[in-house]
Amino acid sequence: MLNTAQDDQPLVTLIVAPRERFEQATMSLNKVFETADIPFRMIYVDGGSPKAISDELRANVEGHGHTFIRRPGYVTPNDARNTALPLVNTRYVVFMDNDVVFSEGWLSALVNCAEETGAGLVTPTILVGPESRMPNLRIHHAGGILKLTDVGGQLEMYRRHGHEHEMYLEKKEKLVRTETESTEFHVVLARRDMLEDIGPLDPKLAGFTDEIDMAFKAKEKGWTIWYEPSSVVAYAVGKKMTWREIPYFCLRWNTAGAMNAERYFYKKWNLVPEFSRQRGFLRDHRRHAFPFKKMQKTVGWRITVAFTTLVCETIALFASTRFIKPDMSPAPVSSAVTN
């Protein structure tokens, strides 16, 4: 078990990055402080959130003695993570999105698993749904399969989340710690030695596969990935989206940016191109911003989806002026991180 005697020397740094929204960031941050059960450091990277939210986040983070970094424009998650990594001096890093909620004991469970298994990456049980129903939610990710099969000189990728869509409370007693193959950036623990080994996170990946890229590089270097069921978090959805966060949401999920990142990733790893899942996600996920339920009843699903896409893509075009291009050649993590 984890030795918690070194209260003045935390083992873990939490790096918080924006995912797609801002309105739930304060709630998520408060949940971190309420539930984290071992000492930690935090580096919070805020990219382009509304000033009122940013001011509140800064006051909370710095009020607890941690580091807050404000970027003036919108940033991709990997760019935000790379911004924070040179400041890390702990044995472990926990990457987390800014819209996650947590159950008691989630942090010590991740660190204990890493200490006991030597894992390079540890993934918790990730649920999905409204924060108010936690933990009576469906499972989003409980470990999973990430396989590559050689097909005529290219690699075919098969990915599946463990127990996806099953009710957590019905499966809770059957979930066991096990070595696994995939993670999710909603929350994931990474050993700092592993991060030094694999180098910076790829800033060109701004779509769906940033966590897969990290998992591939970790496995390539011989690191193991473990699933820890007793650490339970949730990707909080359900709260209505507001106009002040819609521009970032639409920019994050605009077709050109997301699909260019996907094509780059598939070429990088010599994968067989197959993008139906990604296109389906973009089509359906953008409706969180614009449900248009009355329109769908009147004109049908296809026309409503087409209109939703047009609106979101137009907003993304204007929002792109606030997007700060990431550094495509960041300094290696090892050169900036000290013991």
The pLDDT, as a whole number, for residue 328 is 55
Q: What is the mean pLDDT of residues 121-142?
A: 96
pTM exceeding 0.85:
yes
Per-residue pLDDT for 91 more than 90? yes
pLDDT band at 298 (very low <50, low <70, confident <90, very high): very high
The pLDDT, as a whole number, for residue 336 is 36
Give the residues across from 178 on adjacent strands.
Answer: 227
The pLDDT, as a whole number, for residue 335 is 35
CA–CA distance, 85 with 69 (Å, rounded to integer): 12
The pLDDT, as a whole number, for residue 337 is 38
Per-residue pLDDT for 275 more than 70? yes
The pLDDT, as a whole number, for residue 146 is 94
Asked if 185 and 211 touch (Cβ cutoff 8 Å), the reply is yes
pLDDT over 90, % of the chain: 87
CA–CA distance, 181 with 144 (Å, rounded to integer): 6
Nearest residue to 16 (alpha-carbon basis) of 73, 84, 76: 84
226-243 pLDDT, tens digit per residue, is 999 999 999 999 888 999
44-75 pLDDT, tens digit per residue, is 999 999 999 999 999 999 999 999 999 889 99
Per-residue pLDDT for 197 more than 50? yes
The pLDDT, as a whole number, for residue 329 is 47
How much is the mean pLDDT over the chain?
A: 92
First to last CA, the chain: 23
Residue partners of 52: CB distance under 8 A and separation at least 6: none
Per-residue pLDDT for 330 more than 70? no
Per-residue pLDDT for 300 more than 80? yes
Query: Looking at this protein, which amino acid is placed at residue 119?
Result: A
12-49 pLDDT, tens digit per residue, is 999 999 999 999 999 999 999 999 999 999 999 999 99
CA–CA distance, 153 with 120 (Å, rounded to integer): 29
pLDDT over 70, % of the chain: 94
> Domains in the chain and their CATH numbers?
12-239+324-336 (3.90.550.10)
Collapsing DSSP states into helix, strand and coil, what is residue 332?
Answer: coil
Neighbours of 328 (CB within 10 A): 9
Per-residue pLDDT for 111 more than 70? yes
Collapsing DSSP states into helix, strand and coil, what is residue 17?
Answer: strand
pLDDT band at 324 (very low <50, low <70, confident <90, very high): confident
The string of DSSP letters for 219-252 reads HHTT--EEEEEEEEEEEE--SPP-TTTHHHHHHH
pLDDT band at 8 (very low <50, low <70, confident <90, very high): low
Asked if 109 and 124 touch (Cβ cutoff 8 Å), the reply is yes
Nearest residue to 15 (alpha-carbon basis) of 30, 31, 29, 35: 29
> Which pair of tokens denotes residue 2?
């984890």
Question: Which residue intervals of the chain are DSSP H helices?
Answer: 25-35, 51-63, 77-84, 106-117, 168-171, 192-198, 210-220, 246-252, 255-268, 276-285, 293-299, 301-319, 333-336
Per-residue pLDDT for 162 more than 90? yes
The pLDDT, as a whole number, for residue 72 is 82
The pLDDT, as a whole number, for residue 239 is 84
Q: What is the mean pLDDT of residues 110-130?
A: 98
The string of DSSP letters for 155-186 reads EEEEEEETTTTSBHHHHGGG---EEES---TT
Asked if 235 and 100 touch (Cβ cutoff 8 Å), the reply is yes
